[in-house]
Chain A
Amino acid sequence: MTLTHRLCSCLLALAIIALAAPRAIAESPLLTLTGAVDGGLVEISRADLDALEWHEIATSTTVTDGRPLFRGVLMRDILALAGARGETVTARALNDYVIDIPVSDFHEFDVIAALYMDGTALTPRDKGPIWIVYPRDDHRVLADIRYDTRWVWQLVALHVQ
């Protein structure tokens, strides 16, 4: 076996590992939807989100400086994917932070479920895996504490009713 062969097989092995690892992550559910959704329970994985159209919002936030660039999928697309039928969504975070959000918010504004901030994936050690982000700089009305409390970070579950 030549050095070139060994290098090739090494690279191949790395490629297989690199492909397999995200696949495993992609399979595990990121977000759980309950209530008025298809079958009463819908689990959304990273693969499901990847199949949706991704959007970017550059906006200031109340807890950071500057205008970070957020990347994710539209909340209304997630609700449509789960076949949600309801007026209100009760969002729950990892730390059991719970808040009610009117579904109309997601239709009036391009609210996204952000998975990346400034190109870096959000993790539970930050505000991940999912941070609900409103286009705060595009609509004056959104610069208000009543909307600020709906920016749920570390989002894990949505209950539709």
Chain B
Amino acid sequence: MMRLTRPLRYGGLAALILACIGLLTVAAVNIVRIERQMQISATENMTWIFGQTQIEALNLAAALSNNAEPAEVQLRFDLLVSRLNLLRDGPQWRFLSEAGLAEGLMGWRDGLLALDPAEGGDRAALAAHVAALSTALRGKASRVMSREWQIQSERLDSLGRLHLLALATVLGALISGTVLAALLIDRERRLIRSKMDQLRAKQLERDLDQERRTSEGYRRFSDLIAHQVRTPLAVIDSAMHRLTRPGNPPSPEIIRAKAEVSREAVARLVRLTDTALLMARVDRGAVEPDLACHDLDRIAAAAIEDLHESARALKTGRVILGSGNRPVTAICDPVLTGEILANLLRNAFLYSPPGSDIDVRPMQDGELAVCDISDRGPGMTPEELAVAFEDFARGARHRDLPGSGLGLPLARHLARLQDGDVTLAPRAGGGLVARLILPGAVTA
């Protein structure tokens, strides 16, 4: 169906365009022909030319009858001959021949020349000849006039016909142009409608995608709750159960140990809640960074100290703050930056083997302030790196380690809020380098 209608539609359009051009060409040709025909030329003034001949015949007759001077008679004679010669010339002669008025005229001229006064022609005979010529001319004059008007009328008729034809073709072009315009407008409308449909389909697809991501997020969130909330709760529950078991009351050492385990479990829950809440605030754009110049070494040192205090249980390795010999100044919000570093450090601790070192190295890199946190853990596979910054994305290998799966996405969000970024790269010799990049203050 489509295959058949398309050539038909294009064929119709092409035919309309050709019709328009053709009709306009015909109209233009007609208008040019009208313009050509509208010129008047002196040849068409035959009535006047013929009248002049008559007048010169009468003038010569008058000169002869008035016994005028020979010079005057000669002048009038010459003028009459010149008028007859004029009638004999191309266009005039054709006019007279077509009107059937040429016959005999040249006989009159020859008769006149035979009586030329300059060659001693007889005046009386000349007078008689001129009188007869005048009569003959009078008889033809009205027919010359009528013939001339007939020609003019025919020309006007022809002009009128050309004019009507031009008008009709212009009207035809107007009609086909209107149809063409209507067709083109219709096509344009259909095109726009199909474009709108396409846009709407794309929008729907986007919405669907968003919906899918959201539901995936919920699924991950419920997974997270299942693991990360239930584990500390189970730890607390188990501790409480031990302390309240009937039989021998627990020794003070056991009570202290169980209390410590419970407090750590509570601390994990609190941290989880804090991270989730901060992420929620970042998501709805409620976090306003307070940007100023700060020493990145000091922020890193503070973050390390906090971590040591809160995470005694980790008891793993040591953090080495490798400051350079020049201070590293970053344009940042110290609280948000501290949060980022704490997240990155916690990750490094989480994934490092016990007893291994973690390097924290703030440095200036051109106009950027950079802080690398390198661990000697298992590192990440390229697949894990690709999704590391997605919400709730936790490596399949580490599902049972404590953590929200929000740490890295939150760190990156907070860095970007300060015109910076967080990137991950494998460490030479094994492990992972998490890099915080912030705009640096150019130091003199």
Contacts and interface: CB of A to CB of B under 8 A. Distances in A.
A60 to B, nearest CB: 10
B81 A63 contact: no
B78 A63 contact: no
A144 B39 contact: yes
Contact of A63 (B39, B55, B92): B92
B82 A125 contact: yes
B85 interface: yes
A154 interface: yes
A64 B41 CA distance: 12
A124 B92 contact: no
Contacts, number: 51
Nearest to A154: B82
Nearest to A66: B90
A56 interface: no
B90 A124 contact: no
Contacts of A95: 52, 55-56, 79
A145 B40 contact: yes
B41 A62 contact: yes
A79 B397 CA distance: 117
Interface string B76-116: 00110110011001111000000000000000000000000
A65 B90 CA distance: 5
A123 B79 CA distance: 10
A149 B42 contact: yes
A148 interface: yes
Interface string A74-97: 000000000000000000001100
Given A94-B75, A95-B56, A127 B82 contact: yes
B214 interface: no
A117 to B, nearest CB: 11
Interface string B34-54: 000001111100000000100
Interface of A: prevailing SS: loop
B290 to A, nearest CB: 85
Contacts of B81: 125
A144 to B, nearest CB: 7
A148 B42 CA distance: 6
Interface residues of A, number: 19
Q: Which residue, of A125, A149, A154, has the highest number of chain B Cβ atoms within 10 A?
A: A125
A95 to B, nearest CB: 5
Nearest to A65: B90
Contacts of B41: 62, 143, 145, 148
Contacts of B55: 95
A138 interface: no
B89 A64 contact: yes
Contacts of B86: 63, 127
A62 B91 contact: yes
A123 B81 CA distance: 11
Interface in B113-150: none
Contact of B43 (A62, A126, A127): A62
Contacts of A144: 39
B92 to A, nearest CB: 7
Contacts of A94: 75, 78-79
B40 A124 contact: no
Nearest to B78: A124
Contacts of B92: 63
A154 B78 CA distance: 11
B40 to A, nearest CB: 4
Interface string A149-160: 101001000000
A101 B109 CA distance: 33
Contacts of A126: 82, 85
B94 to A, nearest CB: 9
Interface string A106-143: 00000000000000000111110000000000000001
Contacts of A65: 89-91
Contacts of A64: 89-91
B78 A125 contact: yes
Nearest to B84: A125
A151 B43 CA distance: 13
A148 B40 CA distance: 10
A63 B85 CA distance: 11
A123 B85 CA distance: 12
B137 to A, nearest CB: 16
Contacts of A66: 90
Contacts of A148: 41-42
30 contacts: A62-B91, A63-B86, A63-B90, A63-B91, A63-B92, A65-B89, A65-B91, A94-B79, A95-B55, A95-B56, A95-B79, A123-B78, A124-B78, A124-B79, A124-B82, A125-B81, A125-B82, A125-B85, A126-B82, A127-B82, A127-B86, A143-B41, A144-B39, A145-B39, A145-B42, A148-B41, A148-B42, A149-B42, A151-B42, A154-B79
4 closest pairs, A vs B, by CB?
A65-B90, A148-B42, A62-B42, A124-B78
Given A63-B90, A145-B41, A148-B41, 11 more contacts: A62-B41, A63-B43, A63-B91, A63-B92, A65-B91, A124-B75, A124-B78, A125-B82, A126-B82, A144-B39, A151-B42
Interface of B: 39-43, 52, 55-56, 75, 78-79, 81-82, 85-86, 89-92
Interface of A: 62-66, 94-95, 123-127, 143-145, 148-149, 151, 154
